[in-house]
Amino acid sequence: MEEGVSEEAIRDSEQIMRNEYAALQNQLLLLKQKQMALIDTLRHLEVPLLKSRKLQANQTGYSWWISTTAQKAGHS
């Protein structure tokens, strides 16, 4: 009787490791695809948000300018 692990057991273990590695690679690929989809979605959401904030800032600035101008006119 020989000591150690049989060649067949080694081959089986190697095949299991290759299968597990391939499964992990597939999971990683799917996660990367999901990440890219989320980044793309965020980009699409960001544009309207930035436009909205810019518009709001412009309106706030305009309102401030009107009130400041009206105050100056009233004090003259």
What is the pTM (predicted TM-score) of this model?
0.53
- In tens, the pLDDT along 1-31 reads 467 789 999 999 999 999 999 999 999 999 9
Tens-place pLDDT, residues 14-73 = 999 999 999 999 999 999 999 999 999 988 888 777 777 777 777 676 676 667 777 777
Enumerate residues 6+ apart whose C-beta is below 8 A from 46.
Answer: none
